[in-house]
Amino acid sequence: MKTKWWHNAVVYQIYPRSFMDSNGDGIGDIGGIISKLDYLHQLGINLIWLSPVYRSPMDDNGYDISDYEDIAAEFGTLAQMDTLIAQAKARDIHILMDLVVNHTSDEHPWFLEALKGKDNPYRDFYIWRKAAADGGPPNDFHSYFGGSGWALDEASGDYYLHQFSKRQPDLNWDNPRVHAEVHAMMNRWLAKGIGGFRMDVIDLIGKEVDRQIMANGKNLHALIRQMNRATFGKGDYVTVGEAWSASPEDALLYSADDREELSMVFQFDHIKQFWDETEGKWRSKPFDLAGFKTVIDKWQTALSHQGWNSLFWSNHDLPRAVSKFGDEGEFREASAKMLATALHCLKGTPYIYQGEEIGMTNVRFDTVDEYRDIESLNLYQERLQQGVSHEDMMSGIYANGRDNARTPMQWDSSENAGFTTGTPWIGVNPNYRDINVAAALAQPDSIFWHYQKLVALRKQHPILVYGDFQQVLTEHPQVFAWLRTLGDDTLLVVNNFSREPVTLHLPESLQNWHGECLISHYTPRHTLAASLELQPYESFALLKGR
């Protein structure tokens, strides 16, 4: 594997709408992000994944773009975006723009042109099919956001494909003119000095529509290689492919050096395993450590010498890490720190989702109207019509709804958590009086400072970045532990994933170690005996002395 400058970097994801509002309109914006760059610098991150800030009617909060080369008025201006790029760079932070090119907004000029008729030169930028014999959609393909994946264009009587909302028409990646436009747009962003791209649902662009194959279509990897050659492959950029469908074998296709595709893949195996086989995310299964260990182990092993993984517990589409994998109550701090240690001691690039570094939790709004996410709102309607009860659907939203991650960032204990002086576009989590950045910065042993230590450790210890992964104590029901090895060095990482103390009997090979405890959040452990008494959610990493 070739060594890259970003291998030891940590990415921080910003969901702009919910991060910081600088002008009191209740919506986070670029000015707000600029005002918090010192905070991010203090955390030590080197990359920001910026969720979309482009011009958009905001049907899906910016994942529906109507102009790739302008900024949404509510987020700011292109000049402010240039300032953000420059000010971040001055702090050694690079910005990854969110590249959403599986679809555009229905207000994008290409789509407005396409609607003008079958002869319009932009018609073929999108995917059209004739109605079925009964006038209905061409087939039963279903949108991720509910209802048919086909929408009728009344003027022509044809349907266009939309895998997400009907205001997000899919681009036709069989059309070379689409490639040329997208590549040119990407090159203009690269020229502005960004660090690269996070690529939204990139596994869908090779779709084979008539076979109803959307993910992993036959042209997918050829399209990515072509994009690499035409754009970011010419420089030292970071590219992250969001790929819900990726298997470890696919991940190697995306990210092995000789493939010349992407830097790394962002896959969801450890998330999807807690979704119901038929009901999906709306009926979640309880966390089960054995299954979790199996999935993480599979990915760590498969990508150990080639390819590169993204490491994350949460993002803007997922529940909060501590609510999903830890404990929101008594052990919130301990479990948040344990999860942080586990994540940062795996092989790959860690991602911190805004608020994770202070242990923000899921939210439970009383009524459906308080939710804002198009997916939760649409699916609530659709599934109630199908006979699902209000209570069942609300419990699905509480467990896995995307607004869990989208409540405003909690900066301090003042009104609206210091996020805005106006009315926030979505309710603030009521726990902001206790859980907020100001409180975390003031408390020397807070979750924030634990994250800061972990981010710094990756820069000091190549073993955390490049060490081979090997699980130990594999059958243990509460503990997830592994070794990292690099040259003559060995690091032992132990995580108690339970709220109970655990007596851990160590195999002989791990007994009588002495060394340096790189990180812990109880009493540091410098030596190992035959057994250990682990505290609830205790974790530590011990570098064996030579």
Give the Å distances, CA to CA, from 366 to 371, 377, 454: 9, 14, 37
Phi, psi of 414 (to 5 degrees): -75, 175
Site for Ca ion in 10-39 (CB under 5 A): 21, 23, 25, 27, 29
Could you tell me the smallest distance in angstroms from the CB atom of residue 374 to ligand GLC?
8
Residue 356 touches which of Ca ion, ligand GLC, none (Cβ within 5-8 Å per kind): none
Contact 208, 229 (CB under 8 A): no
Q: What is the dihedral of CA 436, 441, 444, 449, to 10 degrees?
A: 90
Near ligand GLC by CB under 6 A: residue from 21, 29, 60, 203: 60
Site track for Ca ion across 398-437, x = CB under 5 A:
----------------------------------------
164 binding ligand GLC? (CB under 6 A): yes
Nearest Cα neighbor of 63 from 216, 198, 226, 215 is 198
CA dist 54 and 97 (Å) reads 10
201 binding ligand GLC? (CB under 6 A): yes
Nearest Cα neighbor of 37 from 77, 78, 99, 93 is 93
CA 101 centroid distance within chain:
17
Could you tell me the smallest distance in angstroms from the CB atom of residue 28 to Ca ion?
6
Instruction: Pick the closer one to ligand GLC by CB: 333 or 375.
Output: 375
Residue 81 touches which of Ca ion, ligand GLC, none (Cβ within 5-8 Å per kind): none
- The answer to whether residue 242 is catalytic is yes
Near ligand GLC by CB under 6 A: residue from 14, 34, 48, 100: 100
379 binding Ca ion? (CB under 5 A): no
Site track for ligand GLC across 261-300, x = CB under 6 A:
----------------------------------------
273 binding Ca ion? (CB under 5 A): no
Supply the DSSP string of 400-431, one letter for each residue: H-GGGGTSPP---SSGGGGS-SS--SSPPPGG
Neighbours of 153 (CB within 10 A): 16
Could you tell me the smallest distance in angstroms from the CB atom of residue 300 to ligand GLC?
24
Tell me, what DSSP letter sits at residue 6? Answer: T
Contact 423, 314 (CB under 8 A): no
Strand partners for 55: 67
- The answer to whether residue 200 is catalytic is yes
Could you tell me the smallest distance in angstroms from the CB atom of residue 22 to Ca ion?
6
Q: Count of residues binding ligand GLC (CB under 6 A)?
A: 9
Instruction: Pick the closer one to ligand GLC by CB: 400 or 520.
Output: 400
Residue in the shown chain whose Cβ atom is closest to Ca ion: 29
312 binding ligand GLC? (CB under 6 A): no
At residue 467, what is the residue type? Answer: G
Strand partners for 519: 541
Give the Å distances, CA to CA, from 309 to 153, 232, 298, 350, 354: 41, 19, 12, 9, 20
Exactly one of 21, 59, 170, 200 is catalytic; which is it?
Answer: 200
Query: Three-state DSSP class for 492?
Result: strand
CA 55 centroid distance within chain:
21
Could you tell me the smallest distance in angstroms from the CB atom of residue 90 to Ca ion?
23
Exactly one of 21, 29, 59, 242 is catalytic; which is it?
Answer: 242
246 binding ligand GLC? (CB under 6 A): no
Give the Å distances, CA to CA, from 527 to 2, 27, 493, 514, 516: 35, 50, 13, 4, 8
CA dist 61 and 39 (Å) reads 25
CA dist 302 and 346 (Å) reads 13
Contact 479, 495 (CB under 8 A): yes
Instruction: Pick the closer one to ligand GLC by CB: 58 or 502.
Output: 58
Residue 200 touches which of Ca ion, ligand GLC, none (Cβ within 5-8 Å per kind): ligand GLC
Could you tell me the smallest distance in angstroms from the CB atom of residue 424 to Ca ion?
10
Could you tell me the smallest distance in angstroms from the CB atom of residue 29 to Ca ion?
4
65 binding ligand GLC? (CB under 6 A): no
Residue 333 touches which of Ca ion, ligand GLC, none (Cβ within 5-8 Å per kind): none
Question: Using CB under 5 A as the criterion, which residues of the chain lie in contact with Ca ion when the complex forms?
Answer: 21, 23, 25, 27, 29
Interface residues toward ligand GLC, by CB under 6 A: 60, 63, 100, 164, 200-201, 242, 316-317
| Residues belonging to the active site | 200, 242
